[in-house]
Structure 1
Amino acid sequence: MNVTRRLVAVIACRSQGSRLYGKPVQNLDVSKGVRILDNIVDCLSSLPQIDEIVLGIAEGDENSVYRRFAEERGLRFVIGDEVDVLGRLVAGGRLAGATDIFRVTSESPFPFFEAVPAAWTTYLNSGVDALFLDDIVDGCGFEIISLAALETSHREGEERHRSELCTLYMRENNKRFQILRISGPPELNRKDLRLTVDNPEDLVVARAVYQAFVQQAPRIPLGHVVRFLDANPSLIALTAPFAEVGYKTMYVWGKQQ
């Protein structure tokens, strides 16, 4: 019997951060009130492969802003443990009747949306448990994972596997799962760049990028962004201190087990 596949983007949201508070609701466009999360949701909503977007909101009064955001945008949401990010992804997937989860982070405003149609087709045709777009500018990649694989990871993993490193269990136990890794175009595999907002300097860069391409938002082509940054080396210099550390910890792979 053929099972209709349902791809749901579950975006984990929380306000706490050691370097920048409330990253997902920081403004990309201050005058128009366009937030990082707005651009992510608008971009993903434009992709027919994604059936629904759900927010996985951390508990706590400080995170009520995301509940209001969901209500304003007509999005369903779940509320769960702040540390157990994986649990919120699973709960969001179950709420939406997902077979598969599309994962991006809530502080990365410029996903490589161009790759999603082909990646979803490849994922379906390959019959794998997960597809990871890893080799791309930090903050622009995505993961497609079966809900069943995430449920297994949550059930069998340790506390560290249930953290914001939601696919760590799969990556460390990669013989137990069928995982396909894909890469972006070579010109977008730039370890000197980052487009995720974790520091005030990252936010400066994200705002500059958004203003440069506001007419194309929310679907801002990543190749255009890379060329813009190359033409503005002072922006690259702002985030250079964080790039090396970010790439070292971004994609962890264990031994074949």
Structure 2
Amino acid sequence: MKNSARKLVAAIACRNNGSRLYGKPLQNLDTINQITILDNIIACLKSLKVIDEIVLAISIGIDNHVFEEYAKKNNIAFIFGDERDVLSRLISCGEFSKATDIFRVTSESPFLYFDEVEEHWNNYIHLNLDALFMDEIIDGCGFEIIKLSALKKSHMQGEIRHRSELCSLYIRENAEQFNIKKVFPPKELIRKDLRLTVDNPEDLVVCRKVYQKFKDSAPRIPILEVVQFLDTQSNLIQLTLPFTESGYNLMYK
């Protein structure tokens, strides 16, 4: 349900540099049909009626101009900003689009747990929250909803580490200054042995297998069914297991 007094904008921070895997957002999930990680993310976001607009928060640098081309080709708004100050890029997205609130997902995580987004957005408004965090879910499937004013306060009062890709870190560390709510997925999606985000070549192998299995449901690929599928594919779970501990240690700082 849309709320005329609020504007919820999905801000997606994009950059191509990556020591483990270059150009993660534009890696293909479907190599035959040339469907990228970012394609599936954006298509899923467009299917959510509560999201009013999508804006790419592109890092400055020649390597990232491909995202400007992508945005123009797909009729998506974009801004450029500092590579390390990811928080400032999200704020710029909000200011550019006149958002009141930011819906945050990452550009290398193709499979969003979309099922409860509308419910949580309505609760977020009803409770007049500054931030709502979907926590403890499989790495790559969660989301955050944060007031633009709370992001601005984080940037003004936080340190350099708070302005990194850990954009909600200041709010999480200073919860007493904000009205926040943490929500959690069904227990079947609290699986610290799984990850559905692409940071390594092995992650990409797994996400391609998942997409191939569920492409008829794309872009709204059902995460519960993905888990059931992966539980029959122990080789895929073992492939990314070396990266799960470090990934989860970073998630909710």
- TM-score (structure 2 length as normaliser): 0.98
Shift of 1:51: 0.3
State the Cα distance separating 1:3 from its structure 2 match.
Answer: 6.9
Within 5 Å, give how 1:172-191 maps onto structure 2: 172-191=173-192
Tell me the number of residue pairs that the alignment of Structure 1 and Structure 2 aligns.
251
Could you tell me which residue of structure 2 aligns to residue 91 of structure 1?
92
Q: What are the within-5 Å matches in structure 2 for residues 59-138 of structure 1? A: 59-138=60-139
Match of 2:22 in 1: 21
Aligned to 2:201: 200
Cα deviation 1:178-230 (Å, max 9, x = unaligned): 11000000011111100000000000000000000010000001001000100
Residue identity opposite 1:191 in structure 2: K
For structure 2, the residue ranges without an aligned partner over 5 or more in a row are: none
Aligned to 1:41: 42
Supply the AA of the counterpart residue of 1:128.
L
Instruction: Please report how far the alpha carbon of residue 115 of structure 1 lies from its aligned counterpart in structure 2 after TM superposition.
Output: 1.3
Q: Secondary structure at the match of 1:86?
A: helix
Distance of 1:223 and 1:203 partners within structure 2? 19
Task: Show the 5 A alignment for 1:208-227.
Answer: 208-227=209-228
Which residue in 2 is equivalent to 1:165? 166
Q: Take 1:185 and 1:202, find their aligned partners in 2: how far apart are those partners?
A: 23
Distance 2:188 2:217 in 1: 21
- Within 1, Cα distance between the matches of 2:249 and 2:59? 26
- Identity among equivalent positions (%) equals 59
CA deviations 1:115-151 (Å, max 9, x no partner) are 1011101111111100000111100000000000001
Q: Which of structure 1's runs of 4+ aligned residues deviate more than 3 A?
A: none
Secondary structure in 1 matching 2:9:
strand
Taking the aligned partners of 1:126 and 1:185, their CA distance within structure 2 comes to 22
Instruction: Give the structure-1-normalised TM-score.
Output: 0.96
- Secondary structure at 2:80's aligned position in 1? strand
Q: Does 1:10 align with 2:11?
A: yes
- Superposition deviation, residue 248 in structure 1: 1.2
- Unaligned ranges ≥5, structure 1: 253-257
Aligned counterparts of 1:121 and 1:39: Cα–Cα separation in 2: 24
User: Take 1:104 and 1:72, find their aligned partners in 2: how far apart are those partners?
Assistant: 21
Q: For the residues of structure 1 that align with 2:244 and 2:95, how far apart are their CA atoms?
A: 35
AA partner of residue 23 (structure 1): K
